[in-house]
């Protein structure tokens, strides 16, 4: 019987001034926003799982962090300790996509099995083979991360998924969003009532949404209340981002607060949160009766 999961969004670094047009399509010349870099911790039903693992702040990963203006980076060991977890405790990792700030820290989780879309892995390998003039699409990818993912397959710790898969863990599903933010992005659906359709579930959206406005954009200027407005970066298309947003919203009965934008600074105002001694945020999305709060 599924007893439900606890879910926390853990900030591990941030960009103080990120162009707003990067997080909201069409928001040109509208200034900057803070962009937290986060991953997700899920506990319950005998499992400790993660959604994404951040980046390794060394070699080319560190170079990309500097290029994007990332500050205050801390290791998974330090960040997870705020919830009483060690990286060695994690048994399952869902990789939403292969950008450096989501895939780069696989080495820190020696006991985990990783899940990624086949299309995400193979198309980045294809992209790496293209001439330098095509290199724009590789702007947020560390090629060494892709090689580390291949090494996980060699170790027998990588599960390559083709499309959707239900109950990867009890009540946790994978849903593909092909040719959207990246070639093979995926979102994670946590069904705390173990029902299908679920009336108590959460979507961990990766970078398919960055901020609340991607889900509920003020559209009064065109005579409607709200509409979806996709993120600014799509290796695929904004159309596919919109279609993925509709699927995510449908899965939570169109209750927008249940679709979690991992890069959203205002999670701190929407969910119980605290700031750690390292000036990083812990946001408690939901709490199982089996667990104590990590934000008191």
Architecture of domain 6-286: 4-Layer Sandwich (3.60)
User: Which band of pLDDT confidence, cut at 50, 70 and 90, is reported for residue 296?
Assistant: confident
More reliable by pLDDT, 126 or 2: 126
Mean per-residue pLDDT, 10-27? 96
- Contacts of 49 by beta carbon, 8 Å cutoff, 6+ apart: 41, 42, 43, 90, 91, 92, 93, 94, 169, 172
What distance in Å separates the CA atoms of residue 286 and residue 272, rounded to the nearest whole number?
9
> According to the model, what pLDDT value does residue 32 have?
95
Q: How confident is the model at residue 1 (pLDDT cuts 50, 70, 90)?
A: very low
130-142 average pLDDT score: 96
Q: What is the pLDDT of residue 181?
A: 98
- Say whether pLDDT at 65 is over 50: yes
- pTM exceeds 0.75 for this model: yes
* Tens digits of residue pLDDT in 110-130: 999 999 999 999 999 999 999
Q: What is the pLDDT of residue 3?
A: 63
Q: What distance lies between CA 183 and its chain's CA centroid?
A: 15
pLDDT per position as a tens digit, 239-277: 999 999 999 999 999 999 999 999 999 999 999 999 999
Q: Where do the structural domains in the chain lie, given as residue ranges?
A: 6-286
3-state DSSP call for residue 245?
A: helix
Predicted local distance difference test score (pLDDT) of residue 127: 97
């Amino acid at each position: 019987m599924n007893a439900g999961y606890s879910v926390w969004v853990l900030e591990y670094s941030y960009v103080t001034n990120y162009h707003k047009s990067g997080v909201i399509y069409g928001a040109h010349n509208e200034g900057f926003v803070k962009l937290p870099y986060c991953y997700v911790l899920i506990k319950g039903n005998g499992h400790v799982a993660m959604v994404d693992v951040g980046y390794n702040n060394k070699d080319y990963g560190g170079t990309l962090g500097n290029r994007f203006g990332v500050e205050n980076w801390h290791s998974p060991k330090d960040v997870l300790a705020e919830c009483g977890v060690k990286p060695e405790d994690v048994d399952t990792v869902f990789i939403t996509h292969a950008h450096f700030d989501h895939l780069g820290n696989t080495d820190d989780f020696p006991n985990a099995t990783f899940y990624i879309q086949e299309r995400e892995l193979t198309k980045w390998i294809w992209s790496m083979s293209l001439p330098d003039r095509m290199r724009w699409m590789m702007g947020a990818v560390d090629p060494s991360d892709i090689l580390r993912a291949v090494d996980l397959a060699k170790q027998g710790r990588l599960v390559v998924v083709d499309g959707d898969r239900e109950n990867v863990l009890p009540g946790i599903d994978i849903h593909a969003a092909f040719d959207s933010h990246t070639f093979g992005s995926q979102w994670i659906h946590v069904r705390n009532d173990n029902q299908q359709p679920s009336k108590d579930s959460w979507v961990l959206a990766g970078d398919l949404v960055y901020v609340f406005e991607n889900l509920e954009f003020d559209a009064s200027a065109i005579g409607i209340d709200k509409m979806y407005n996709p993120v600014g970066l799509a290796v695929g298309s904004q159309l596919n981002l919109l279609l993925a947003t509709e699927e995510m919203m449908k899965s939570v009965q169109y209750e927008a607060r249940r679709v979690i934008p991992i890069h959203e600074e205002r999670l701190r105002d929407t969910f119980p949160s605290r700031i750690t001694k390292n000036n990083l945020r812990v946001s408690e999305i939901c709490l199982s009766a089996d667990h104590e709060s990590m934000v008191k």
